[in-house]
Structure 1
Amino acid sequence: MKLRIILILGALSAFAPLAIDFYLPGFPAMAVAFGTDEKHIQLTLAVYFTGLAIGQLIYGPLADRFGRRLPLLSGVALFTLASLACAYAPSLEWLIGARFVQALGGCAGMVISRAVVSDKCDAVGSAKVFSQLMLVVGLAPILAPMLGGVMVNLYGWQSIFLALTLFSVGAGIAVAVGLPESLPANQPRQPLSGALRQYGRLLGDRIFFGYALTGGIAIGGMFAYIAGSPFVFIKLYGVPAEHYGWLFGTNAAGFILVAQVNARLLSKRGPAFLLTRTVWVYLAAALALLAVSVLQTEALWPLMLPLFFCMASLGCIMPNTSACAMNGQGARAGSASALLGCIQFGIAAGAASLVGVLHNGTAMPMAMVISLCGVLAVIVAMWTRRLQRERALQAPV
């Protein structure tokens, strides 16, 4: 796949992390601006996850029926308008509503970028491209919180959403000029009327569902970290908002590094093999994180160490679950990508909300949710791998 297309797909995939990570340092300032507390500001994060989950179910059938470009450009335009609405929100309720619409627009890039990769690559090739996309996507968690912290201090939290507006305009121009239609002209177009049946068939595919659920649970742990880390780092351990991005970026750097190692290992081992090994690393790090949070250490670094390994392991888990789930989907790649994303961000919304519900002034709620995700990810990954082996044995020679 051409580098130009990978960069465009990376930018499209970055809509979600940018719209999340960029404004995290602004939580305290937004709470002051709207006369509320950070627990209520976290609702803008949870509703964004909900919008991502719902919106992806819409774009999948559209992408299979009308091709990849038209739904994609429509989604980018919607994200642009919603970002402006966020910047000029007069109340918290307005901001929550605008964030929901922003998510509905931003998820188009996530759904369709996966579908484009599936259009052009097999399972191993897809895993390699997804790992390369992680390099582009991973820059967002490194740069966005650092830049967001500086912008909040200099220009206020509204400047973050104005910057997102400019980014989406640039991405829309890149798609219009540099991303050709990838759905083959001779491939049957899936009718919109069959969308529910298509989703039903995908849910009935236990291997697809197992890989989607494994990735969703693991990503749920990541978003528990995203929801809880502003309080833990800034409030609990006194990290200045402008320095928050450095800590966040350290974990993102581990994520990028492991994703690139994963891309190289795929030439020797398949994505399913690497996935079933890495989920155990994720679980071990998550349990270590929980143990440290129970001790409530005065220093931050004992908490950061297992947190680093948790987030780094996702650099292998995320691309490999996507590749395994999308393998062989063909004409229904758009719907498969949409359902995959819906499952992932539906769980993410629940995990982020659970951190807020369990909030008790310590790091334990964040660590508990991440640990729960680690346990469940291992259970589902092992079950799915067993199903895949049984199917391989039953296949005709």
Structure 2
Amino acid sequence: MPSLGPAETERNAGSPSDVPRTTNNVRLMLNLSALMSFASISTDMYLPALPAISRALHTDSAGVELTFSAFLIGFSLGQLIWGPISDRFGRKFPILIGMVLFIIGSVGCALSTTVTEMMVWRVVQALGACVGPVLSRAMVRDLYGREQSAKMLSTLILIMGVAPIAGPLVGGQILLLWSWPAIFWALAIVGLVTLFSFSRLPESLPPKHRTREPLRHTFATYLQLIRDPRLIGYALSGGFFYGGAYAFIVGTPFAYIDFYQVSPQAYGWLFGVNIVGMMIANFINGRLLSRMSSEQLFYRGAWTLAFFGVVLSVCVLFGWGGIWGLVIPIFFYMSMNGLIVANSVAGALAFFPHRAGSASSLVGAMHYGSGIFSAALVSWLADGTPKGMALVMGGAGIGCLVAALWSKGARAERS
């Protein structure tokens, strides 16, 4: 098996000049943005319906939140499979298979009559949905170097920001006009449209750039990657951010709708304002990358995340500001997606241009895997108030900063 030593990775990082480029960048960016949005639409669109689903399936808030954890389990584990497959066979074929699984899982959720059935179908749905984010990141790395990758990822996140804004709003309107199963039927239709659109795009990883190693070497590759502190530092920092973000996603429907008596439709707007913050921050990140390095922006994002995580925890614990004690700190907290995610992913993948699929899978599994624990922790700490959510988000913000500072020292030792 080829070595992944620092000399080779530094030499190859950021200069994939011989990788083929698409002739239609706008079309490519729209399709990649759609792929990246599958995590968001699969979770955000049904958020306003969580209280209604819990009543329909005869379970409590903790029970219905387990459907969220089930999705994240499938989403995390699936990425570990799709990445190596795409390094071996190209990006396009796994994406098409993933879309088929997503459609099947969405239909299964719509037809579920118990929370257990929905958990099973959410895993199937997630195994298909995860192919989008992991392979869209790998495709960006196929086509661009480190700094340009960070710019492209920021642009993609900026475009895909429409999905998490529209998700809760559309879900709330569907709930108002029809019922919660219609939300999953709508997701199945989205999967069909994406399947058709992406089938018409060219392959980004030509045969000469694909790994020839058997898939049985996958776990050996992961062991090599996980030993590199440069990748793990970035992945852990992003993982803590995602842990806090998923605590927000799973906690706010009950914090806003049940605790503060906000309507499901108004909840969509309160949720969407955070996505606007993320889009603004990603736009700013893309512009600042011409004057600052992605690493500098990444550290600034980690410090800001930790600060507003602490502010949120204090406001909730002492009851300061009412609902605005949640809305305002959460806005700045979630906006740090713009500085942390794109820059940490670009940094993690920069040293592994010939293992971009596997590296992206490992990073994605750590990112979304953290959500499994944070969502479960929010459920375990649930006491009818937003305290559990706020404490998990505050702890995740501090963890992101600590991981970023540790990885900075680890990279300095390797250089």
Q: TM-score, normalising length from structure 1?
A: 0.97
Partner of 1:349: 372
Quote the residue 1:156 is aligned against.
Answer: 179
Q: Which residue matches 2:12?
A: none
Aligned to 2:395: 372
Deviation for aligned residue 1:274: 0.7
Quick check: 1:59 aligned with 2:44? no
Counterpart Cα distance in 1 of 2:329 and 2:321: 16
Matches within 5 A, 1:286-297: 286-297=309-320
- What do residues 173-218 of structure 1 show as CA deviations (whole Å, max 9, x unaligned)? 11101x2111133224242121011000000111101101110111
Matched letter for residue 305 of structure 2: Y
The answer (yes or no) to whether the contact 1:22–1:160 under 8 Å persists in 2 is yes
Q: Aligned equivalents of 1:92 and 1:303: distance in 2?
A: 29
Write the mapping of 1:202-213 to structure 2, written as runs, cut at 5 A: 202-213=225-236
Q: Deviations over 1:117-140 (max 9, x none)?
A: 000111101100110111122212
Q: State how far apart, in whole Å, the 2-side matches of 1:188 and 1:253 are.
A: 38
Stretches of structure 2 lacking an aligned partner (at least 5 in a row): 1-21
- Counterpart-to-counterpart distance in 2, 1:382 and 1:269: 18
Aligned twin of 1:115: 138
Q: Does the 8 A contact of 1:122 with 1:328 survive in 2?
A: no
Residue 287 (structure 2) aligned to one of 264, 270, 278: 264
The reply on whether 1:300 has 2:323 as its aligned counterpart is yes
* DSSP-derived class of the 2:383 partner: coil
Is residue 318 from structure 1 mapped to residue 341 from structure 2 by the alignment?
Answer: yes
Cα distance in 2 for residues equivalent to 1:188 and 1:257: 36
Residue 31 of structure 2 corresponds to which residue in structure 1?
A: 8
Aligned-pair distance for 1:298? 6.8
CA contact (8 A) 2:90 2:207 kept: no
Please point out which of 199, 219, 237 is paired with 1:214: 237
Please give the per-residue CA displacement for 1:344-392, whole angstroms capped at 9, x wherever unaligned: 1111111111000000111110110011111111111011122223333
Give secondary structure in 2 for the equivalent of 1:186.
Answer: helix
1:130 — aligned with what?
153
Number of aligned positions between the proteins: 391
Does the 8 A contact of 1:214 with 1:321 survive in 2? Answer: yes
Partner residue of 1:47 out of 52, 70, 74: 70
In angstroms, what is the RMSD of aligned CA positions?
Answer: 1.1
Give the Å deviation of 1:247: 0.2
Label 1:274 to 1:90 Cα distance change in 2 as closer, same or farther (>3 A): same
Q: Which residue of 2 aligns with 1:244?
A: 267
SS of the equivalent of 1:42 reads: helix
SS at structure 1 position matched to 2:161: helix
* d(CA) in 2 for partners of 1:362, 1:139: 30
1:275 to 298, 322, 338: 298
Give the distance between the partners of 2:148 and 2:26, measured in 1 at CA: 14
Separation in 1, partners of 2:328, 2:406: 29
- Partner in structure 1 of residue 204 of structure 2: 182
Q: Which moves more between the two structures, 299-308 or 335-344?
A: 299-308
- Once the two structures are TM-superposed, the CA of residue 297 in structure 1 deviates from its matched residue by 4.4
Q: Sequence identity, in percent?
A: 38
Q: d(CA) in 2 for partners of 1:86 and 1:270?
A: 43
Contact 2:48 / 2:171 at 8 angstroms: preserved in 1?
yes
Question: Structure 2 counterpart of 1:52, which letter?
Answer: F
Of 96, 107, 132 in structure 2, the residue corresponding to residue 73 of structure 1 is: 96
Residue type at the aligned position of 2:202: P
2:194 alignment partner, one of 161, 164, 171:
171
Detail structure 1 runs of 4+ shifted over 6 Å in the superposition. Answer: none
Match of 2:406 in 1: 383
Amino acid at match of 2:49: G
2:300 and 2:339 in contact (8 A); partners too: no
Q: Tell me the amino acid that sits aligned with residue 43 of structure 2.
A: I
Q: In structure 2, what is the Cα distance between the partners aligned to 1:267 and 1:388?
A: 23
Aligned counterparts of 1:212 and 1:137: Cα–Cα separation in 2: 21
Q: Deviation of residue 66 (structure 1)?
A: 0.6
Give 1:105's aligned residue: 128
Letter in 2 for 1:182: S
What secondary structure, in the 3-state scheme, does the structure 1 residue paired with 2:208 have? coil
Are the aligned partners of 2:315 and 2:321 in contact in 1 as well (CA < 8 Å)?
no
